[in-house]
Structures are given as structure tokens and as C-alpha cells.
Amino acid sequence: MLVTLKENLSNAEEGNFAVGAFNSPTLETARAVIVAAEELHVPVILSHAEVHNVVNPIEVIGPVLVEFAKKARVPVTVHLDHGSTLENVKKAIDLGFSSVMIDASHMHYEDNIKVVKEIVNYAKQFEISVEAELGMMTSSGIGGEETASGTDEVSVGTDLYTDPIVAKDFVDRTEIDALAASFGTVHGIYISEPYLDIERLKSIFKNIQRPVVMHGGSGLEKQDYINVINAGVRKINYYSYAAKAGALAVKEYIQKEPNLFYHDLTVIAREAIKKDVKRAMDIFSNK
């Protein structure tokens, strides 16, 4: 069934677990994620990132995600990831998405608040949840949902991390449902071992009393996931490593199979993505 992000994350809060948010730019990914969630009986978030419009535009893949969510035997939120404008947010809501992220984190603080507030006011009329970002989530430059081509500069520093005191002001003034905070993860494939500032995360969660979202959530150690969930993370964005798993399986198959047909590759990719996503979902359930 289709549920809002707010509903999904408040259940996660009650059960002290995190809901996985998986970018699903292709039919194979979307099916892999839904089947994995149903097999494990866990709630899930199907996300569409704006940068993936080149793979399948939101007008094409969006209705598919919404349909999958409605028919699923588990609670599913359909979410716009890294929305950049009110226009794009409106489009997602028109298509039936139950949650949107507006990312104005690159703007000056007051401008970020202004843009987010505008989205919250709009989305509230339709009872759609809103996630916004404070602090800067950087990118490793390889994969990820923020960079389609992987051309972003690599810059990682604690000065870009979310300030717990500012976070409280931001959430109070914008009235968002979930906050994407920066405390050590990066988008894409990790090129060095991440350092997660768990104390900062705990302070953010304590101050905002709302679910915290972790972006760049694939490629971490199991214990890292447990630590962030116990510190207040309720939504984990997971994508790059699942996409990588699909690609590696296809590569292996191509190397050993002389008779290649494209449709077989989609099945190979789907199964590999499903396996990787299931492993992640199992950890996120924090049992």
C-alpha cells in the first residue's frame, strides 16, 4: 500500500529501525526492491532522483513506482529524491508521489528556509511529506544519486556537517517531516573509509525530535548502520552499491555466456540488485 513518508518513519521510530530508500530508475530496480521488501515483510521507500531522468524521466517511471506501491503487500512510500524546484515537486505530487525532498542545501541558510517553507506549504495541502537537507552532503564523484555523470568535485570536511543547534532552528521554522543531515557519509562509491560523527548525529536527533535521513547510505559496515539507527536515523538512502552489484553480475554473465540476449541481462541485474537490497533491508530492520 502507498503511505506517506511521515507514516512510514513514525512506525520506524516506534520500532527503532530504519526504512531503506532505494532509487529505482529502471523497471528492474523497482521490481527488485518491491519483491525484496515483500519477501522480508518490511516497509520500503521507492525513490526517484532527478538526476535519473536521463535513465527514465519521472513522467515514465513515476506512475510505475506509484502503481507498484499501491499493489504492494507492504507499506511503500514513493519519494522524489533531491528535488530542485517547486515545479519538479509539483510534478511528482501530480504523478501520485507521497513524499518529496527539496534540496536547497547549497543555498544560503535563510534562502534554504524560504524555499523549503514554500514546498512545505504547498505539499501540506495534499498531505504529502517533505524532507529537506541542511549541511552539505558531498559526493565521491563515482555514482550516487546526486551526480549523474560523476563529475562533482570531491570535498569532504566537517565544516560541511550539519550543526545540531542550527538544525533545531531549521526544523522548527520549516516544519519538515524529516531532515537529511550531514555527519560523515558521502554520495556514491567510497574512495576512502567514511568516518561517521555519531555524537553529532545524536545531538541533531535530540534537538529536532524528528526522523533523521542518512544519504550516501550504501557501502557502510553493518555496525555503522546499527550505530546510526540507534542514534536516530530512520531513513537510509541506499543506491550506489546495489547498482554496482547489478552491473557486476551482468559483466560476469557477459564474460561467460556466448549467446547474449538483452532481456537476459535485465533478469541477471534484477536478481543481483534484489540480493544486495535484501541484505541491506535485513540490517536496517535492526532486529
So which residues are the catalytic ones?
A: 81
Smallest distance from the beta carbon of 271 to Zn ion, in angstroms? Answer: 26
Report, in angstroms and rounded to the nearest whole number, the Rg of the chain calculated over CA atoms. 18
Closest CA to 232 of 147, 188, 171: 171
- Segment near Zn ion (CB under 5 A), from 22-30, 207-215, 250-258, 270-278? 207-215
Taking the least distance from each CB to Zn ion, the nearer of 215 and 244 is: 215
Give the phi and the psi of residue 98 in degrees, each rounded to 5: -105, 0
Task: List CB contacts of 143: < 8 A, sequence separation 6 or more.
Answer: 150, 187, 188, 189, 239, 240, 243, 244
- Site map 6..25 versus Zn ion, x via CB under 5 A: --------------------
Give the phi and the psi of residue 285 in degrees, each rounded to 5: -70, -15
- Rounded distance between C-alpha atoms, residue 60 and residue 113, angstroms: 31
- Segment near Zn ion (CB under 5 A), from 35-43, 110-118, 212-220, 277-285? 212-220
Distances (CA, A) of 187 to 56, 63, 139, 161, 225: 20, 26, 4, 14, 16
Number of chain residues interacting with Zn ion (CB under 5 A) = 1
- Segment near Zn ion (CB under 5 A), from 118-126, 167-175, 190-198, 208-216? 208-216
Taking the least distance from each CB to Zn ion, the nearer of 200 and 215 is: 215
What letter represents residue 194's amino acid? Answer: P
Taking the least distance from each CB to Zn ion, the nearer of 179 and 265 is: 179
Taking the least distance from each CB to Zn ion, the nearer of 26 and 237 is: 237
Smallest distance from the beta carbon of 266 to Zn ion, in angstroms? Answer: 26
Task: List CB contacts of 190: < 8 A, sequence separation 6 or more.
Answer: 140, 219
Smallest distance from the beta carbon of 236 to Zn ion, in angstroms? Answer: 11
Neighbours of 52 (CB within 10 A): 22
Taking the least distance from each CB to Zn ion, the nearer of 18 and 72 is: 18
Residue number, nearest CB to Zn ion: 215
Smallest distance from the beta carbon of 21 to Zn ion, in angstroms? Answer: 9
Cell numbers linked to 244: 554496482
Smallest distance from the beta carbon of 237 to Zn ion, in angstroms? Answer: 5
Decide: is 215 part of the binding site for Zn ion (CB under 5 A): yes
Residues that bind Zn ion (CB under 5 A): 215
